[in-house]
Amino acid sequence: MSRYGLLGDKLGHSFSKIIHEKLGFYSYDLLPMEKDELHEFLTKKDFDGVNVTIPYKLDVIPYCDEIDDTVAQIGSANTIVNRNGKLKAYNTDFYGFLYNMQFHHIAMKDKVVMILGSGGTCKTVTAVAKFQGAKEIVIVSRTESDTTITYNQAKQREDVQVLVNASPSGMYPNNQNCPIDINCFPNLEAVVDVIYNPLKTKLLQQAQQRNIPFANGLLMLVAQAKFAAELFIDEKIPDQEIERIYQELKSDLSNVVLVGMPSCGKSTIGRELSKLLNKEFVDIDSLIEEEMKLAIPQIFERYGEIGFRSIERNVVANAAKQTGMIVATGGGVVLNPDNIKDLKQNGIIILIDRSTDELLVGNNRPLSKSKQAIEEMYRNRYPIYMACSDIVVFNNGDIERAVNDTNMQLKSHLGF
């Protein structure tokens, strides 16, 4: 029986097992182990092929009988193949990052490239930048050295054209972190983040706000897995498999976030979408009530709207870090721009729009006290709803039609 897997330290949030099993050639296991366990594992050689992730990409090399050119050039390995008891090391991260850049039409030839972080991933990005013919490669680290500058010094480099984050800054669960403000770089032409959880880091959100082309690390992850699988089975796999698995993963991992006026149908549509798309359903107002052990009207009565919004802010920040969910929000979530930034990390935002004539007065909704109050709230909030939404779905009360319309627009948005 063939034996494949991922060797690393903490692998709880790894997508590698999902990706390799989507390729469909073999079963694949996560193999978390301590550093002192490496020697026995690699000398026993009781495997056919393994991928290697942090922090062992350098440690595994001495155990290999042969290394390929990319490992020799980069100095780290992420794939080991056991051929009749002989171990050969490869670095498919190189090809995965290169594929990601080419797929997103981001070129580094004759460009000033800045790489944030000086660890193992930086070595891979540097090798690709050299391969593509970058004019200059600037490596940024927390401390200055002969080969690196500091983050403060980096802010003075206005000539940077391609920025790559190869550091873990901004990665789950520290989603709020951002390694640098891209507004320091007026000549920036592209931003790449090797992080794939969240799908859109704060760094990439900055790029999107400036209409600068950007890419995350999910496609790189899938591509390097495909190239590793080719080495495992000694057979070419069509590149179309990369895009198929990438699209499936993007769809599986993306949250669907429903915004809109109170009583527009967000929770009802959300529950139906949850069944249709096989995603967990989360209602932000229910999470708030669970946390406070009070009903929403009671929270408003005790803490006022300002107090409620503060509680809501914390609940949204935590919920937005998760992936693969349907999220129904309260009507006023959009009033805080930080809520929207957080929800957009992993989410596609859908406005459920409904005529004010169909919205309910009262009904345990503290701000929907009268028809006049609802109409004024709609006038004030509608531009905000529209500005933050990726998709708009009209709900005239026919829930089945609204759910189907939402599903169709989601597929179109995701490229299916």
Q: Is 57 a catalytic residue?
A: yes
For residue 169, give the nearest of 136, 129, 146, 142 by alpha carbon: 142
What distance in Å separates the CA atoms of residue 161 and residue 385, rounded to the nearest whole number? 34
- Helices 120-132 and 92-103 sit at what angle, rounded to 10 degrees? 60
What distance in Å separates the CA atoms of residue 106 and residue 307, rounded to the nearest whole number? 45
What distance in Å separates the CA atoms of residue 155 and residue 163, rounded to the nearest whole number? 12
In order of 105, 236, 404, the CA distances from 138 in angstroms are: 21, 35, 49
Structure-token pair, residue 251: 């769809």
3-class SS of residue 247: helix
The DSSP result for 314-348, as a single string, is HHHHHHTT--SEEEEPPTTGGGSHHHHHHHHHHEE
**Sign of the torsion angle spanned by Cα atoms 337, 338, 343, 344:** positive
Are the CB atoms for 350 and 256 separated by under 8 Å? yes
What distance in Å separates the CA atoms of residue 271 and residue 259, rounded to the nearest whole number? 14
Residue 40 CB partners (closer than 8 Å, separation 6+)? none
Helix/strand number for the chain, H first, E second: 15, 16
Which residue in the block uniquely carries the two structure tokens 């992080």? 195
Q: Which of 45, 57, 200, 275 is catalytic?
A: 57
β-pairing, 79-83 vs 391-394, is: unpaired
- Active site members: 57
